[in-house]
Structure 1
Amino acid sequence: MSLSRKDIQKERMWHYFINAASETIDEVGISQVRARTVAERAGFTTSTIYNYFREFSHVIFFAAMRYTKPYIEQLPQYMDQGTNTLEKWLYSWECFCKESFKHPQIYSHIFISNLKQVPEDLLDHYYRMYKHELVGLPDQVQSIVLQHTLSTRSSLYIQHAVDEGFIRHEDIPYITETTLLIWKGMLTDILNQRKPYSQTEAMRKTLHLVHKTIMNIVPVDKHQEVNVQFNI
């Protein structure tokens, strides 16, 4: 189905503003991006932004999503290191921590900040515009990437560990919520300069707690089947 002239114009304007926002983030950092700067770089007035976006934070969200490309590209390789669901799940956390602690403000804006709209709707719109970023990803990995809520991402994937006898179905909410809080707490501490951790230290401590959380749930006789060697 071909796009209408109006839809083509809208998509073109979105690209103008998102490109301008991405360039501004590269220059001054995401926390210093302002609507006026982005509008001027795109060649329009600030008010024009709101003809195409409900909130300026949505422009930043779409621009920030471009920084997740390394995570998306590397995720399948990380997960391939695992021989069962839990190992693959833990390696996916390693990939996520590596990229999120490298760009804490970016990932905070995507996964923590108030966007004043259902994030899944924004994410769906983003991947409709940038379908090429999902090309080549296994279906199972796509289902993870297309879920904005991290706890939902975890539960969608880790539920396969129930069939493998590593966890019970009723353990899933505890695992996903606890590991998400661990990551959010570490990221918030770094952003607020509460902890003087380097990227590597933050990654190591977070993965240690995530690993410990899951192993406290796994039956002792299954521990030997979960052998993960993080590359940190």
Structure 2
Amino acid sequence: MKKQQTQNKEIQAIRVMSYFIESTAKIIEEEGIDKVTIRKIADLAGYNSATLYNYFEDLSHLIFFASMRFVKKYTDDLPHYISKAKNPLERYFLIWECFCDHSFASPQIYYAVFSSDLGVHPKKLSKYYEFYPTDLLEVPEDLRNMMLETNLSRRTRIALEQCIKEGYIKESNADQIAEAHYLIWQGILTMFINHRSMNTVQEATEKTMKHIRHTIVLEDS
């Protein structure tokens, strides 16, 4: 009986947290991230602000989890991109290409999830996927650990694993390459957000991929 009561409480908690996450996502979609407030979220979810703090430590957690709702388009699209790969290196480039296409199309969302200082930031995405487990259904098994990582440099390092195993790059250089690729993307995304670049989404993706490919070429030489 006690076990059943505990399970019921956990189910209820996830349900309430989902209400808050969906309400936050709606505000982001309709008004933008900068317009998100605790009061707006609570009102839209049908609870008071005090209740919200029973489930989330910080507004940043809600912004993070709500932003992940929009990242689902990327996770859904990723298997289609990498299906074209003929080897691990091509697969790695296509992972980045998919990420760039989606992140430059929704720069504020991806900046919020992977770059911005949101205060008390969740360390793992596993909590989010407890709320929305079906979001990872189409992702290949070997990439699921990558999807659960919020640090984009470490995420990139995971994506490089097959390239290391098959000799495309040296393991001793993998961390540096992963960090470089993350910094390339972050720099171009920041310019994109701050209107310091006139590039279209496609042009921003092509520029990022050119730099990423170039660093691999330098590694091989």
Q: Normalising to structure 1: TM-score of the pair?
A: 0.88
The whole-number CA distance in structure 1 between the counterparts of 2:159 and 2:47 is 43
Q: Is the 8 A contact 1:31 1:105 kept in 2?
A: no
- C-alpha change, 1:12 and 1:194, in structure 2 (3 Å) is same
Which position in structure 1 is the counterpart of 2:180? 178
Shift in Å at residue 189 of structure 1? 1.1
Q: Is the 8 A contact 1:69 1:133 kept in 2?
A: yes
Which position in structure 1 is the counterpart of 2:123? 120
Q: Is the 8 A contact 1:186 1:206 kept in 2?
A: yes
Q: Which amino acid aligns with 1:167?
A: I
Counterpart among 61, 68, 71 of residue 65 in structure 1 = 68
Q: Normalising to structure 2: TM-score of the pair?
A: 0.92
Which position in structure 1 is the counterpart of 2:29? 26
Deviations 1:103-158 (Å, cap 9, x if unpaired)? 1000011011223345333x111111211111243211212212221111221231
Gaps of 5+ in 1: 220-232
Deviations 1:190-231 (Å, cap 9, x if unpaired)? 222222222122111111111111111124xxxxxxxxxxxx
Q: Which amino acid aligns with 2:10?
A: D
The whole-number CA distance in structure 1 between the counterparts of 2:88 and 2:18 is 38
Deviations 1:26-49 (Å, cap 9, x if unpaired)? 211222222211111111222321
Which position in structure 2 is the counterpart of 1:99? 102
Query: Could you say what secondary structure the match of 2:219 adopts?
Result: coil
Q: Does 1:78 align with 2:81?
A: yes
The whole-number CA distance in structure 2 between the counterparts of 1:47 and 1:195 is 42
The whole-number CA distance in structure 1 between the counterparts of 2:102 and 2:172 is 30
The whole-number CA distance in structure 2 between the counterparts of 1:202 and 1:138 is 27
Where do 1:30-45 residues align within 5 Å?
Answer: 30-45=33-48
| RMSD between superposed Cα atoms in Å | 1.7
- C-alpha change, 1:35 and 1:118, in structure 2 (3 Å) is closer
Instruction: Out of 172-181 and 162-171, give the one that drifted further.
Output: 162-171
Instruction: Out of 104-113 and 147-156, give the one that drifted further.
Output: 147-156
Query: Could you say what secondary structure the match of 2:198 adopts?
Result: coil
The whole-number CA distance in structure 1 between the counterparts of 2:205 and 2:168 is 24
Gaps of 5+ in 2: none
